[in-house]
Amino acid sequence: MSTTVKELARICGAQLLGGSPDTPIHSAANIDEAKSGQITFIGAAKYAAKLKLTTASAVVVAKGTAPAAAPGGTCLLAAEDPELAFIACLHHLYPEKQNPGTRSAQAQIDASATIGTGTFVDAFVRIGARAALGKNCQVHAGCSIGADVTLGDRCVLHPNVVLYPGVTLGDNVIIHSGSVIGADGFGYRLRNGRHVNFPQVGTVVIESDVEIGANTCIDRAALGETRVGTGTKIDNQVHIAHNVQIGAHSLLCGQVGIGGSTVIGDYVTLASQCGVADHVKVGDRAIVYAQAGVTKEIAPKDQVMGFPAANRREVLHEMAALRKLAGEQKAVEELIKLLPALRAVLTKERDGK
């Protein structure tokens, strides 16, 4: 989409400084690559020097930036939060494609299902009995929506998403391709030398404004529900086991694994490839660093790393001590070699007395 600097300044609530307000903008790029006709941004003071070198037509900057800091003719859009302002510009320049609220003749929709106004259903979608889809949803090719599934308004299911029977989604939920919501939890009991399946008869509830990455699996509860709270964002290839409870506005990065019946608080960050054991609680605003293994409760606001996961400061202190000890290894070895002679001297002095 093509627009003008003046229009972008209005959209993002920025003050326009320097350049021509009618300068056309057709796309966006990062500060190192932006060219004429493009807009970019500087979100941190450490990148301020790059402003003098840019060839972009417009740059979103922090309020207080002098127009003279940019090359002549470059427009500055001064904002309280440059990154947030730039995001608003991106939404305008790259609007999401909205399919019309049509239903493909190649979709299989049960007669008892209800579909809200403006909802798009693509080819090869299957919608089961009594499923209820809200208004203005986008259900793309190959999705499977089981019986008694409920979708709120403005949900987006990218191609080949599978929602097992009974799953509930709130409003504005986005699920990317290949994800499976509501498969059986991994529940077995060893009896008489055999693994006996504990029937997984619960469900999954995804609250509003949640986004789920590609190839992520969220298992249904054995009894009750597995729940993901409002505003939580989940990356690709994440596994959430049965009966897990995840709070609001948490971040789960790629390849995170969460064991059954674990409770994750609000605003928690689980970094890539960390694992959380079953029946563990992670407190609000805690941070679990990459590849950590959580085996016991994490207090609110704590930051942990390593395996088993421990307070980050304590782990770093221990690592520094070990590194220092390793640096003194030669001296330690020399002391060890001197020990026999030292014992002999001490023995001689003792016997002489």
pLDDT of residue 353: 57
Indicate whether 9 and 142 sit together in one domain.
no
Indicate whether 285 and 319 sit together in one domain.
no
Mean pLDDT value across the chain: 94
Tell me whether residue 17 is in a domain: yes
Indicate whether 51 and 164 sit together in one domain.
no
Indicate whether 31 and 60 sit together in one domain.
yes
CATH classification of the domain holding 147: 2.160.10.10
Tell me whether residue 102 is in a domain: no
Higher pLDDT, 239 or 353: 239
**pLDDT digit string, tens, across residues 97-153:** 878 889 999 999 999 999 999 999 999 999 999 999 999 999 999 999 999 999 999
pLDDT of residue 152: 98
Tell me whether residue 99 is in a domain: no
Band of pLDDT at residue 235, cut at 50, 70 and 90:
very high
Tell me whether residue 100 is in a domain: no
Residue 2, C-beta contacts closer than 8 angstroms, at least 6 positions apart: 24, 25, 26
Indicate whether 283 and 340 sit together in one domain.
no
Tell me whether residue 16 is in a domain: yes
Domain of residue 325, residue span: 313-352
Euclidean distance between CA atoms 149 and 308, whole angstroms: 39
Q: Does pLDDT of 351 surpass 80?
A: no
As to burial, measured by CB atoms within 10 angstroms (0-12 exposed, 13-18 middle, 19+ buried), residue 41 is buried
Indicate whether 19 and 58 sit together in one domain.
yes
Tell me whether residue 12 is in a domain: yes
Indicate whether 210 and 73 sit together in one domain.
no
Band of pLDDT at residue 179, cut at 50, 70 and 90:
very high
Q: Give the number of domains in the chain.
A: 3
**pLDDT digit string, tens, across residues 261-296:** 999 999 999 999 999 999 999 999 999 999 999 999
> Of 37, 62, 93, which residue sits at a domain end?
93
Indicate whether 177 and 305 sit together in one domain.
yes
- For residue 299, the one-letter residue type is A
Band of pLDDT at residue 159, cut at 50, 70 and 90:
very high
H-only helix segments in 19-168: 82-93
Tell me whether residue 101 is in a domain: no
Tell me whether residue 98 is in a domain: no
Name the residues annotated as catalytic: 242
pLDDT of residue 187: 93
pLDDT of residue 345: 83
Indicate whether 155 and 279 sit together in one domain.
yes
Give the torsion sign (CA, 290, 296, 299, 300): positive
**pLDDT digit string, tens, across residues 53-67:** 999 999 999 998 888
As to burial, measured by CB atoms within 10 angstroms (0-12 exposed, 13-18 middle, 19+ buried), residue 223 is middle
Indicate whether 86 and 144 sit together in one domain.
no
Indicate whether 137 and 199 sit together in one domain.
yes
Q: In which element (H, E) is residue 175 found?
A: strand 174-175
3-state secondary structure of 84: helix
Indicate whether 251 and 307 sit together in one domain.
yes
Share of the chain above pLDDT 70, in %: 99
Q: Is the pTM of this model over 0.75?
A: yes
Neighbouring C-alpha atoms within 13 Å toward the C-beta of 95: 7
